[in-house]
A and B are shown apart, each in its own frame.
Chain A
Amino acid sequence: MKDILIEFYLYMKERKKYWLIPIIIMSLIFGGLIILSQGSAIAPFIYTVF
């Protein structure tokens, strides 16, 4: 987890898109909650998502 956060921080620093941070955090929390409630994350084929 620590590695992921460090990598994210370095990434944001390089891309200088700090405005995305709260949106990404919210997305991660939201996504995490879906995983917890579903137990698995299986999605159909969505062309541009992958």
Chain B
Amino acid sequence: MNIIGISAFYHDSAASLVVDGEIISAVQEERFTRVKNDKNFPTNSIKYILEENNLNIEDIDAFVFYEKPLLKFERLIETYLAFSPMGLKSFIKAIPLWIKEKLYQKEGIINEIKKTFHKKIDGKKIFFSEHHLSHAASAYYPSSFNEAIVLTLDGVGEFSSTVVYHAKDNRIDKVKELHFPHSLGLLYSAFTYFLGFQVNEGEYKVMGLAPYGNPKFKDLILKHLIDVKEDGSYQLNMKYFNYSIGLTMTNKKFQDLIGFEKREPKDKLLQNHMDLAASIQSVAEDIILKITRNLKQEYKINNLCLAGGVALNCVANGKILKEKIFENIWIQPAAGDAGGSLGAALAFYYLSENKIKEKKPIISFTPYLGPKFTNEKVKIELDNLKANYKYYEDEELFEFVSKKIMENKALGWFQGRMEFGPRALGARSILANAKSLDMQRDLNLKVKFRESFRPFAPAIMQEFSHSYFDFDENFESPYMLLVTKVKNNKNKTSDFVGFEKLKNIDTNIPAVTHVDYTARVQTVSKESNERFYSLLKKMNSEFDTPLVVNTSFNVNGEPIVCSVKDAFSCFMNTNLDFLVCENYILNKKDQFQ
């Protein structure tokens, strides 16, 4: 049975292919259109999926949309009704859009497919999954657990913002939930907005900014903005928020409470902003820890699955791990809405009448589910781009690359199938020397063109991760979703505040050590990514360095590169020194500018 899962029309649209319960392909539309978080129907993604797998559109048995538009519309109407007559301005803007584009999505999907593939598909082939069920399925089925507690946390689905499921023997049963407008995701996004970052995109920045500040506003937040119960359930004080019916996330009362003005994107980041980021991060961690502790106590199940946008908060994930609340944790790397496309397809397959009676299979999950370019294809593309390149056999390629990394060169690393989800995991990555003192600043300013405060993550050989980081031996973190302490650091205490803290980092891997001496680690094994592992192995044997800086192959504001052409363009427009596309290496000095 061929099932295509679709996420679209909100942000981060994507398509996934599941064949007889196996995950075959998954890709985000932004990678093709080059529009960050593209929300349009994933036409290019579906096209890629069909071509890659030699399928025609008629071969698809079901198209499953990742949420239920009618249920969402009901929430919208009920919200406007509850706040009436407030919210008229938002109502006037929202309702026509819903009527025109969003309400009858079945027809929308049929039309979009007809427009691209010139075939009208039967409406009976189109199905709708619930938003949080899609997230839950994306985390439970690819995990190795037969029984697990599945926690999904995000902004808002149809009605829910936080949902707990009990999953066992292929079944996923909802056991409790919290409803909109009370939402941890929206609370975090409200602070993201107030700090001058883009909602749905800047949450990473808030998380990265937090260690520069002190949680001075934490008590204020807990006293006025959110009431958190012992079991982790919570209620927001909507007096301070405007997102239910307004056109902004926060209101004047929020600003008055915080005591300073909302930051605009171009404004300088001040200590107050850092303190506010630290405060909301600390509140979010407390809530997530309370929820997970309570779930463990209540259900006494050893396995936890996480998904939903909030599950990308790797600092909070690291705290759950550190406290050893659950024996095992599995987090879907595409935890945001793109991953909903995968979950929708999996839920449709495994929750059908005959499958829930079967034993849950072990799906071998890999995040490398996107387009791949063979050496032949790479050569053709590079010739078309009039690039100057040299072919290297594997062994000499790993040797050359590791040498250049240790010479503090920054490289674009383009290998194999592209990753699904927001993290670059060694397929579309920029690699650099983790031991370099200046690399964090240089990469941010000269290559990524982004804020200088943002940290970089390490990718390390699996067997060495516990030597460098506070992980148990054999612990795996293959998707870069967990933050942990860097070992052997001097953890100098000093009077440095704010961005000055960057000068205080004293470890042997400063480029991947954040100012609070933590790192968001990717462990690499031969099984998870053989080529990347071979490179790290070479670095270790030649230079006693089993790790590198691994950051996404893109510049600020652009999606991660997908094709050779994208990679070449990014290479030429940044200060990257080398580009490594499969077995071809391009030196910047050899290119015509």
Contact = CB atoms under 8 A, between A and B. Distances in A.
A11 interface: yes
Contact of A27 (B95, B102, B123, B181): B95
Contact of A44 (B9, B76, B247): B247
B93 A44 contact: yes
B199 interface: yes
B467 interface: no
Nearest to A27: B95
B94 A49 contact: yes
A48 B93 contact: no
Nearest to B89: A46
Most buried by B among A28, A42, A44, A46: A46
Given A20-B77, A23-B77, A31-B96, A50 B106 contact: no
A47 B81 contact: no
A40 to B, nearest CB: 8
Contacts of B180: 48
Contacts of B264: none
A15 to B, nearest CB: 7
B243 interface: yes
Most buried by A among B9, B95, B186, B249: B95
B27 to A, nearest CB: 22
Most buried by B among A38, A43, A44, A48: A48
B123 A3 contact: yes
B156 interface: yes
A8 B77 CA distance: 14
B98 A31 contact: yes
Interface string B197-216: 00110000000000000000
A8 B71 CA distance: 11
B96 A38 contact: yes
A38 to B, nearest CB: 7
Given A11-B70, A34-B92, A38-B96, A47 B106 contact: no
B77 A47 contact: no
B107 A8 contact: no
Interface residues of B, number: 42
Interface in A5-45: 7-8, 11, 15, 17, 20, 23-24, 27-28, 30-32, 34-35, 38, 41-44
Contacts of B181: 48
B100 interface: yes
B20 interface: no
A41 B74 contact: no
A38 B99 CA distance: 14
A49 B75 CA distance: 9
B244 interface: yes
Contacts of B200: 47
14 contacts: A17-B74, A27-B95, A31-B99, A41-B99, A43-B93, A44-B247, A46-B93, A47-B199, A48-B155, A48-B181, A48-B243, A49-B90, A49-B94, A50-B11
The 10 closest A-B pairs by CB, nearest first: A31-B95, A41-B96, A43-B93, A49-B94, A31-B99, A41-B100, A41-B97, A34-B96, A35-B96, A31-B96
Interface of A: 3-4, 7-8, 11, 15, 17, 20, 23-24, 27-28, 30-32, 34-35, 38, 41-44, 46-50
Interface of B: 9-11, 39, 70, 73-74, 76-81, 90, 92-104, 106-107, 123, 155-156, 180-181, 186, 189, 199-200, 243-244, 247, 249
